[in-house]
């Protein structure tokens, strides 16, 4: 298994030098988020991830979770690691002070989430899903619900889940059938079955708080008739401690391709007592608080996969000897050259590096916008919310697609050894595959981006982002050292809007054209977004080099990676643009019964 080392230098480069987080936190009024404080938090978080979580990643995959009628047992070391996590105060870092939190901005928590996810994604899902449940109760819960559940969720004493999916419905929540019948005491009896519930049952905490979608009697059909409920595993007693067992049980755990260390559960609700969160029949609106948090969190899995796989592949490529360099021996005293000298191995390694470091900048930037959505007001808050809403489907879908590609490159660099479990590279691929599916597949995210976020706003969401890119390009118009980045970025930024207009015009005649274009449009958008952040990183690195620095190698590598991205990855936009232009007729003209011919 690759030894995980938190990329602290690159994390600090993105936060402090590219995104100027010190100014951001000062403007935000987050006095406690001083550079020294943040550096200490990240350093201690890195130590926990490297020394506690990474060593149980592979063993957790091999052992998996164990189901019994009494509950689910997590792999060896998981429960102990969670106890250390809670003891260190990590769950409360970005929670409100009034509920026992430390009140630090969400963006700092995102850095911790990246390190946790790279070290051990399966373990990280247990506290990770609590974050969304907590956010939903913070936003929509009554004062009594907040008093009962938030302190325990904030401390990490209890964990939370999101219970949406049912056997007959995945992303189409309009056809869910779980029922909520009113009880005389103001609670509700929840009855139904939910599937694919990550961390739905485990042995790491005393209580699990399920956030559940269900229908009230006489509710409207479809998504307009869904309400949201809190359903705890154990009913809190008058002191707020776990009391009687509720009517919710884990019927089984799924046998999965990856993330074996996390319990993916079938949850049965048999008249379980629950309490309404938010207004009746507005559960899906309330759940979007949860889902948006979860989607940003899922995007980190793409970054984590790219970073973890790159670290393993790079170390192997430097040590593994095979064949001679085409341009002459590079290791003349050895029997062969290290494989890092071969152009194709470098292509894969640089692709991994470009994806990992580029998506880190994208996600961290989005996290800063989340800070303003949470703590800002007025136009500042609205602008941040607009940008974050636009970026969320791109982050969730593009970052995970790119991260999965990077993970596969890691296996390829190892050759046959990459297919063998002991090296750990194939586990990264298996663990990451789910990221392209949960919280809405790539196709679902693509429809959300193109249909809801762009076409339904007449392109306003896109214009907000392209304006920012345009300003950056204009500022660097006369900078000769940035020409290789600014010219293609400016061209693509303009083309982006033109492609959108053409899709909109075509969709007026045939709405299937939106679905046909959507995934290519999302991937095109992702590559252009990544180009923008690589250009910003290149600009920062060039400034540091011009000023004089003792870290010349680090900054030169940044510029060189940016050049690789623009030369060898960004041209993929041309293929996506052409496929969009070709339309969807070849997809739709064949009769369904003819697919088997």
Q: What is the DSSP letter of 87?
A: H
CB of 237 closer than 8 Å to CB of 193: no
Task: Report the candidate in 524, 300, 306 with the shortest Cα–Cα distance to residue 403.
Answer: 306
CB of 61 closer than 8 Å to CB of 260: yes
Q: Which of 106, 138, 405, 439 is catalytic?
A: 439
User: According to DSSP H, which parts of 143-253 are helical?
Assistant: 143-145, 151-155
Structure tokens at 571: 């041209």
* C-alpha–C-alpha distance, residues 88 and 85, integer Å: 5
β partners of residue 270: 191
294-327 CB burial, b ≥16 within 10 A, e <16: bbbbbbbbbbbbbbbbbbbbbebbeebeeebbee
DSSP-derived 3-state class of residue 139: helix
Structure tokens at 567: 């030369």
CA torsion sign for 380, 384, 385, 390 is positive
CB of 537 closer than 8 Å to CB of 357: yes
Which H or E element spans position 75?
Answer: none
439 among known catalytic residues: yes
Structure tokens at 342: 């071969």
Q: How far is CA 2 from CA 43, 112, 148, in A?
A: 20, 19, 42
* C-alpha–C-alpha distance, residues 65 and 263, integer Å: 6
- Tally Cβ neighbours within 10 Å of residue 547: 8
Residue 309 has φ and ψ, to the nearest 5°, of -70, -40
Segments of 97-200 assigned E as strands: 159-163, 179-182, 188-198
* C-alpha–C-alpha distance, residues 505 and 520, integer Å: 17
* C-alpha–C-alpha distance, residues 519 and 387, integer Å: 20
Catalytic residues: 439
């Amino acid at each position: 298994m690759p030894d995980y080392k938190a990329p602290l230098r690159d994390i600090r480069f993105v936060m402090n030098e590219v995104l100027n987080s010190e100014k951001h936190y000062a403007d935000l009024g987050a006095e406690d988020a001083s550079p020294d404080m943040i550096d200490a938090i990240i350093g201690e978080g890195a130590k926990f991830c490297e020394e506690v979580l990474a060593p149980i990643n592979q063993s957790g995959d091999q052992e998996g979770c164990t189901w019994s009628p009494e509950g689910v047992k997590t792999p060896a070391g998981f429960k102990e690691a969670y106890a250390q996590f809670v003891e260190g105060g990590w769950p409360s870092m970005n929670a409100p002070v009034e509920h026992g939190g430390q009140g630090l901005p969400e963006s700092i928590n995102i850095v911790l989430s990246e390190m946790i996810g790279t070290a051990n994604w399966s373990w990280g899902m247990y506290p990770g899903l609590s974050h969304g449940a907590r956010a939903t109760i913070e936003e929509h819960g009554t004062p009594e619900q907040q008093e009962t559940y938030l302190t325990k969720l904030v401390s990490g004493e209890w964990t939370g889940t999101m219970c949406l999916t049912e056997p007959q419905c995945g992303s189409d929540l309009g056809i869910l059938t779980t029922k909520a019948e009113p009880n005389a005491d103001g609670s509700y009896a929840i009855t139904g079955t939910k599937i694919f519930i990550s961390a739905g049952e485990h042995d790491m905490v005393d209580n699990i708080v399920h956030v559940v979608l269900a229908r009230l009697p006489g509710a409207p059909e479809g998504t307009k008739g869904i309400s949201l409920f809190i359903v705890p595993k154990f009913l809190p007693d008058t002191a707020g401690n776990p009391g009687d067992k509720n009517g919710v049980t884990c019927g089984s755990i799924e046998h999965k391709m990856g993330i074996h260390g996390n319990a993916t559960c079938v949850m049965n609700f048999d008249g379980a007592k629950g309490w309404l969160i938010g207004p009746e029949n507005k559960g899906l609106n309330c759940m979007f608080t949860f889902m948006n948090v979860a989607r940003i969190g899922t995007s980190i899995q793409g970054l984590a996969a790219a970073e973890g796989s790159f670290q393993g592949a790079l170390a192997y490529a430097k040590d593994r000897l095979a064949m001679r360099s085409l341009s002459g021996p590079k290791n003349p005293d050895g029997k062969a050259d290290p494989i890092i000298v071969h152009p194709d191995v470098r292509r894969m390694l640089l692709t991994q590096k470009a994806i990992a470091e580029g998506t880190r900048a994208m996600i961290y930037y989005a996290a800063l916008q989340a800070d303003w959505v949470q703590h800002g007001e007025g136009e500042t808050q609205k602008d941040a919310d607009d940008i974050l809403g636009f970026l969320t489907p791109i982050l969730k879908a593009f970052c995970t697609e790119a991260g999965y590609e990077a993970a596969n490159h890691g296996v390829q660099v190892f050759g046959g050894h990459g297919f063998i479990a002991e090296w750990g590279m194939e586990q990264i691929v298996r663990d990451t595959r789910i990221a392209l599916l949960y919280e809405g597949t790539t196709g679902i995210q693509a429809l959300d981006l193109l249909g809801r976020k762009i076409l339904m706003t007449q392109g306003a969401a896109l214009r907000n982002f392209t304006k920012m890119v345009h300003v950056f390009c204009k500022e660097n118009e006369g900078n000769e050292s940035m020409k290789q980045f600014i010219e293609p970025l400016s061209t693509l930024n303009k083309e982006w809007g033109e492609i959108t207009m053409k899709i909109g015009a075509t969709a007026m005649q045939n709405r299937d054209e939106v679905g046909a274009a959507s995934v290519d449009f999302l991937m095109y958008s992702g590559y252009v977004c990544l180009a923008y952040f690589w250009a910003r990183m290149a600009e920062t690195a060039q400034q540091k080099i011009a000023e004089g620095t003792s870290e010349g190698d680090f900054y030169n590598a940044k510029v060189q990676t940016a050049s690789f991205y623009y030369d060898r990855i960004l041209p993929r936009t041309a293929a996506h643009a052409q496929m969009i232009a070709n339309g969807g007729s070849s997809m739709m003209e064949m009769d369904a019964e003819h697919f088997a011919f």
